[in-house]
């Protein structure tokens, strides 16, 4: 546990969060992913599409490590609301600001669990005629998968527990943790 993680643990409002992936482990994996992406997208017109809100920290760190000219855009999707289970109903809450036609698109996601949201997103983006689409997800929960899901660049597989931190939230909280943790009692008092 590094100094940042120790500081978080001293705060009582994080007492229900158990560290799963440390700050250092996350940052090391991001560097590895960025090196792969840099190699694979040489000479292409690359657009990173961050899925809001959860991917914003991951995408910021990832894009700074990619050694290529690129552009960034964001798309907001919702399927959870304030719950720990997906509703299965996906809606776009904020759309891309620029066209992606003819460009190489790298979707940057915080977590893929059931695969329903990613399937919806990829189907939607394909109608916009990009040159190609790849997916980079920091996390996946294979135990929750309902549909086959394309993940070309994966950070980590995690167990079927509710995770928060490093952009992932519960009712808007915990995004500011530098690490990823298991929220042991999401519906508790803290």
| Of 140, 129, 130, 125, residue with least CA distance to 44 | 130
φ and ψ at residue 66, rounded to 5 degrees: -80, 125
Active site residue 113: yes
Per-residue tokens: 114: 């059931």
Joined tokens for residue 73: 């855009």
The span from the CA of 38 to the CA of 125, in Å, is 22
Which residues in the chain belong to E strands, given as ranges? 17-21, 46-52, 70-78, 91-94, 104-112, 132-140, 153-157, 163-164, 180-183
Q: Which of 28, 113, 132, 160 is catalytic?
A: 113
Query: What residues act catalytically?
Result: 113
């Amino acid at each position: 546990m590094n100094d940042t993680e120790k500081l978080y643990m001293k705060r009582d409002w994080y007492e229900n969060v158990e560290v799963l992936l440390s700050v250092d482990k996350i940052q090391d994996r991001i560097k590895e992913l960025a090196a792969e992406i840099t190699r694979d997208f040489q000479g292409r017109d690359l657009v990173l599409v961050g899925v809001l809100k959860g991917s914003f920290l991951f995408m910021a760190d990832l894009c700074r490590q990619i050694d290529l000219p690129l552009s960034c855009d964001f798309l907001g999707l919702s399927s959870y609301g304030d719950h720990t289970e997906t509703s299965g109903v996906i809606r776009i809450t904020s759309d891309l600001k620029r066209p992606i036609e003819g460009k190489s698109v790298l979707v940057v996601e915080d977590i893929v669990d059931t695969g329903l949201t990613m399937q919806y997103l990829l189907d939607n983006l394909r109608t916009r005629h990009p040159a190609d689409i790849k997916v980079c997800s920091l996390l996946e929960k294979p135990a929750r998968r309902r549909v086959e899901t394309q993940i070309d660049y994966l950070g980590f597989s995690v167990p079927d527990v509710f995770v928060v931190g490093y952009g992932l939230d519960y009712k808007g909280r915990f995004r500011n943790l530098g690490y990823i943790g298991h929220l042991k009692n999401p519906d508790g008092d803290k």
